[in-house]
Homo-oligomer: A and B are copies of this chain.
Amino acid sequence: MTDPIRPTDDEARRLARDLLDAATFAALGVIDPETGAPFLSRVALACDAEGTPVSLISSLSAHATALRANPEASLLVGEPEDRGDPLTHPRLTVQARAVSIARDDPAFAALRDHYLALRPKSKLYIDFGDFYFIRFEVQRGFLNGGFGKAFRLTPGDLTR
C-alpha cells in the first residue's frame, strides 16, 4: 500500500487557508450523545479576527446539545462547482475542539460585531437569546486537493 499523503508545502497551506476564509457554511460533525455515533449538520461559518473558524448556533439545535456533552468536532469546507466530478474539487477537513462563547461572555460583543460585518444576513437571528458562538480550536487539518493530492496539516499550517 502506497501512502497517498504528500509532503505539506506552501501551496497546500495557501489552498487550505483560502478554503477556510471563503467558507460561509460548513458540514459539522459531532458525536451523538445518545448513540456515540457521528452526527452531521450544516452550520454557518466565518473566521474571527485571528482566522479561527467560528459559527453562530442555536442552543436548541442537536449539534449544540452534542457539543455540550463532547466538544470534539470536525468541519468540512470547500464546495464543488455545479459541473464536473465533485471529487476533483478541493476540500478541507478540520478537526477541532469546540469552545462556547455565550452571550454573557466578555468576548461576545466584539465577536458579534465582527461576525455581523462579515455575515450581514445574520442580523435576522444574531440577537435571539438562544444563539451563541462556537469557536473551533483547530487540532489538525486534512486537505484533499483532488484525486491523489492529499496533505496533513498542523494548526500552524492553518494560521492566517
List chain A positions with a Cβ less than 8 A from chain B: 1-2, 4, 24-25, 27, 29-32, 35-44, 58, 60-62, 72-76, 78-80, 85-87, 91, 93, 95, 121, 125, 139, 142, 144, 147
Contacts and interface: CB of A to CB of B under 8 A. Distances in A.
B29 A74 contact: yes
A85 B43 CA distance: 11
Contacts of A39: 29, 74, 93, 95, 142
A24 B88 CA distance: 13
Chief secondary structure at chain A's binding surface: strand
B37 A40 contact: no
Contacts of A1: 60
Contacts of A37: 31, 72-74, 95, 139
Contacts of A86: 24-25, 42, 44
A72 B144 contact: no
Contacts of A31: 31, 37-38
